[in-house]
Amino acid sequence: MTSRELLAQVAVALPAATAALVVLAPKGLARAVALGAAVPTGAAALALAALALARSGDPVVGDWLVVDAAGGLLVGVIGLVGLASVLVSPAYLGGAGASIVSARRREPVYYAVLYAFWAILLAVPLAGNLGGAWLLVEATTAVSALLVGFSGRPRALEAAWKYLVLTSLGLGVALLGIVLLAAGGSGGGLGALSWRALADTSAEGALVAYLLVLAGLAAKIGWAPVHNWLPDAHSEAPPPVSALLSAALLPTVLLVAWRTEQALAPVLGARRAETVLVAFGLLSLGVAVPFLWRSLPWKRLLAYSSLEHMGVLALGIGFATPLALAGVAVHVSAHAIAKALGFYASTPLVGHDPRAAEHAVTGIGRTQPRLAAAMGISLGALSGLPPSPLFVSEVLIVAGGFQAGRPWAAAAAALLLALGFLGLAHALIETTAGGRRRLRGPAPGLRGVAALTAVSVVLLLALAAAGPWLAGTDVVDALARGLA
């Protein structure tokens, strides 16, 4: 067993074991156990990510376990966001008024389910088999639905059911495609679903199977037109959970779609397989823009921003040039940092102004400058306002579209991104510097958010500086090769 294989098992086992320990811990110790395990779990994930990226030219590829550059990138994102989500959870729980369980059991249940979600998320990028990846993605649905409805409010429970039903239907469609691929494989059965074995799938029916898999996964990724669950679930879930859903879950499931595209490209033809991703990307951008121009509650605005950014990633993967894939690497990382910060800021925001849960807020900079700084950095980065790394990644992806010989798609993407920028820039100005409606109260948990803001600024600036130099690196070459 290699060091990467061992570290992969440790990275998944730590949060899984912590979920069990939190349930078994004596009364009052659930929080201490959860917080104590957060750093080792995050460190294991980040160590695995660093090792996978450092050895990107020599991936570990088995029938059930894969450790490669793309998986390492996502494991690092999940580890970082999961760590931050656990650390900010006490602030959320301290202000939570109700939950689906009794007050005595609220913390143990919350941390146990959160750690179970974290463990499954870490396992998805490491799955070496499309069937195994599908099972893990389905498991994230069951676990995260409990977290979406954790507050027990009628709207939260409705959002949880909507999320559970719609994404399960989508995954059912994907399962049909997977069955067709297994039936058309040379070996038959689950062995035909390993990423490398998919290249031997029979060409007959492969296109239909591919479309079914991508259309089904699109419901979980949040691509239009099957994104309907996304705004409700993101806005009703606890803020630490919203951060994991948007910054970690969506791109992780997108990785499964990406690996499916790369595996089937020899059968379908690379151009045809990539065109499907480009279509999903443009449609998602087009659907997101009108909502980004509306006056929306903070978390709902961030949710529609997720629709836009998943579309951008679909375009980058579909263009598949070195420039575009460098943009994808930067975009995944920067989106996770900026989006997670935005959701974490919603805890002090709602404490400061309870109306913010259901209405757009204005003038936060006039009443809570530190909170406005966190929200402004998050929204400014997400809008692509220079020097945001998301501006760098979007430029790289659009340039990659022209490089790939898709000028019309690249031009349409540039136009839609510009429109999205205008909408988010307007929201940024109104949220931070708009007129103050009324005197607001204190912002609980702001100290932790302020510390995360400082860390986020450093990471975002580092990504912006690194972005232009990535295109010629071994990491981008490994992303282009996939697991071939």
Render pLDDT for 318-360 as a digit per residue (tens, 0 to 9). Answer: 999 999 999 999 999 999 999 999 999 999 998 888 887 788 8
| Angstrom distances, CA of residue 242 to CA of 270, 313, 395 | 34, 19, 27
Q: Where are the beta strands (DSSP E) in 376-472?
A: none
Tokens 């494989």 belong to 185
Q: Which amino acid is at 47?
A: A
Spatial distance between the Cα atoms of 434 and 363, rounded to a whole number of angstroms: 4
**Whether pLDDT at 20 is above 80:** yes
How does residue 105 score in pLDDT terms, banded at 50, 70 and 90? confident
CA dihedral defined by 353, 356, 362, 364, rounded to 10 degrees? Answer: 40
Q: Omega into 225 within 30° of 0, i.e. cis?
A: yes
Which tokens in the block code for residue 324? 């575009």
Give the pLDDT mean for 67-87. Answer: 97
Please tell me the predicted confidence (pLDDT) of residue 62: 87
Nearest Cα neighbor of 424 from 341, 319, 304 is 304
Q: Which amino acid is at 136?
A: L
| Angstrom distances, CA of residue 466 to CA of 265, 389, 456 | 30, 9, 15
How does residue 442 score in pLDDT terms, banded at 50, 70 and 90? low
How does residue 484 score in pLDDT terms, banded at 50, 70 and 90? low
Give the pLDDT mean for 288-294. Answer: 95
Give the pLDDT mean for 263-291. Answer: 95
**Whether pLDDT at 189 is above 70:** no
- The DSSP H or E segment spanning 157 is helix 154-184
Please tell me the predicted confidence (pLDDT) of residue 74: 97
CA quadruple 407, 413, 416, 421: dihedral sign: negative
**Whether pLDDT at 367 is above 90:** no
Residue 127: which region, alpha, beta or left (left: phi > 0; alpha: psi -120 to 50)? beta
Give the pLDDT mean for 361-388. Answer: 92
**Burial (CB count <10 Å: 0-12, 13-18, 19+), residue 435:** exposed
Q: What is the pTM of this model?
A: 0.96
Backbone angles phi, psi at 436, to 5 degrees: -80, 130
| Angstrom distances, CA of residue 234 to CA of 47, 239, 387, 454 | 29, 8, 27, 24
Buried-exposed string 108-125: b where 16+ CB fall within 10 A, e elsewhere: bbbbbbbbbbbbbbbbbb
